[in-house]
Amino acid sequence: MKTKTIWRIHSVLGLFCALGLIVLGVTGSVLVFHREIAHALWPENTLVSDETPTAEERLPLPQLIAETDAKFPEYWMRGWLPRYGSEARDNAYMTKRGTDDWFMAYVDPYTGESVAEPVSTEHTFYGWFVTLHYTLFTDHWGMALTALFALGFLGLSVTGVYIYRNFWKSLFRLRWRQSARIFTSDLHKMVGIASIPFNFIFGVTGAYWNIDHIAHEMLEHHDHAEVPVPYEGDVTAHLGSVLATAQETIPDYTLNYVYLPTGEDANVYLYGQTPEGHPFRSPYGTYIWINYESGEVTYTRDLRTAGLWNRVKDAFEPLHFGNFGGIVSKLLWCLAGLFPAILAGSGTWIWWHRKRTLKKRKAQQRAKAAAQPQKQESKEPVATHV
């Protein structure tokens, strides 16, 4: 395949993905530091106090869930996200009765204090940005579109490497004093090549998550009601024993999210991690599912003994958001999230300038061709009459 054809494919993909990559890149950079931003803007809602209490001072999880559930009778409890070892409040997830709308309350795990009223998960700082990032506020259609953007991003990376296959000769060359076209081309090449590893990480993980979700929705048979039904009994009466069973099943297991039973499904879904100290592990890669009524363990997955593909998939979360190496990796990932916007802007400008130049050149050629016959005609001898 000729370089000209590759260049054309690269241009078409870039124009198709440009706006989407700008949105995905900028929102992704914000999401890297979403907790820090929320704590800075709304400390009265998201932080517990000026000093971080010890983990031993946390109230028992069943007590926290029971008290929060009783405080908001218009809602029923769906899940709980603990925040260990920080000043952040826990997140209590609830559904408004008679709807399928999810809400969240910030709960102080040391006092049980919570915000006055739960807020829609889509209206929180994190919820707004993550919904825009994954679905563009258009649900499954948006997920399909962002998956296409991610695949297009991969295609841009592959074709870009081919176009600039001799990049090492002038990778860090920025010709500031030349024309805007030359400078923009140098910038596009430098940022594009330098961001290739990040582009593949973002593209592969983002495309996989969205495609996997859409395929699950299309192929999996869903027999649940449109409006979920609350669990008829007390969801906290046996929760202590359920948590104890989880600890017996996988010792030293840290619970990082609990999904409570509903009227359709009596299972308690526990997601957490084991203390293996691996940086590329998500907080939710080890599963324990327990039937709330019988106390029977229905499914477990200890990531330490899981298959290779399960461990690879679990690494997608820290790789996508860069939260595996503290502030250094987060800053680097935040910067890398801006690369797609730079590439989209510079690539669009290069395409537009090239198109304008070609149009001007063709116009000059047409004008020259139109003037040529007249020039020849003027050289013919003029007939005279004797």
pLDDT of residue 216: 86
Q: Which two tokens stand for residue 56?
A: 């031993």
Confidence label for 354 from pLDDT (cuts 50, 70 and 90): confident
Given a cut of 60, whether residue 284 has pLDDT beyond it is: yes
Among 191, 131, 119, 225, which Cα is nearest to 340's? 191
Given a cut of 60, whether residue 260 has pLDDT beyond it is: yes
Cα end-to-end distance, the chain, whole Å: 67
* More confident of the two residues 331 and 162: 331
pLDDT of residue 367: 85
Q: Which two tokens stand for residue 252?
A: 């030293």
* More confident of the two residues 16 and 376: 16
Which of 184-188, 213-217, 240-244, 350-354 has the highest mean predicted lDDT (pLDDT)?
Answer: 240-244
* More confident of the two residues 163 and 280: 280
pLDDT of residue 223: 52
pLDDT of residue 72: 94
User: Which residues contact residue 3 at a Cβ distance below 8 angstroms, ignoring those fewer than 6 apart?
Assistant: 162, 163
Q: Are 105 and 94 in contact (CB under 8 A)?
A: yes
Q: Looking at 31-45, 234-248, 349-363, which range is the least confident one? A: 349-363
- Summary mean pLDDT of the chain: 88
**Residue 45: DSSP 8-state:** H
pTM given for the model: 0.85
The percent of residues above 70 in pLDDT, for the chain, comes to 91
pLDDT of residue 374: 57
Q: Are 257 and 80 in contact (CB under 8 A)?
A: yes
Task: Give the Cα separation of 160 and 7 in Å (integer).
Answer: 8
Q: What are the strands, taking DSSP E only, across the chain?
A: 75-81, 90-96, 102-107, 119-120, 254-259, 267-273, 286-291, 297-301
Is the domain defined by 239-321 classed in CATH 3.10.450?
yes
Task: Give the Cα separation of 87 and 50 in Å (integer).
Answer: 8
Query: What would you measure as the largest C-alpha separation in the chain, in angstroms?
Result: 125
Backbone dihedral angles phi then psi of residue 104, each to the nearest 5 degrees: -140, 140
Q: What is the pLDDT of residues 17-29, one digit of tens each?
A: 999 999 999 999 9
pLDDT of residue 382: 44
Section 23-42 average pLDDT: 94
Q: What is the pLDDT of residues 141-191, one digit of tens each?
A: 999 999 999 999 999 999 988 888 877 666 677 787 778 888 888 888 889
Confidence label for 294 from pLDDT (cuts 50, 70 and 90): very high
Confidence label for 359 from pLDDT (cuts 50, 70 and 90): confident
Given a cut of 90, whether residue 51 has pLDDT beyond it is: no
Backbone dihedral angles phi then psi of residue 255, each to the nearest 5 degrees: -80, 125
pLDDT of residue 365: 84
* More confident of the two residues 315 and 385: 315
Given a cut of 80, whether residue 310 has pLDDT beyond it is: yes
Q: Are 72 and 94 in contact (CB under 8 A)?
A: yes
Q: What is the pLDDT of residues 199-230, one digit of tens each?
A: 999 999 999 999 999 998 887 655 555 788 99
Q: Looking at 89-103, 157-171, 180-194, 326-340, which range is the least confident one? A: 157-171
CB atoms within 10 A of CB 371: 10
Given a cut of 70, whether residue 379 has pLDDT beyond it is: no
Given a cut of 50, whether residue 383 has pLDDT beyond it is: no
The domains of the chain are located at 1-32+138-226+325-373, 239-321
The percent of residues above 90 in pLDDT, for the chain, comes to 62
* More confident of the two residues 386 and 222: 222
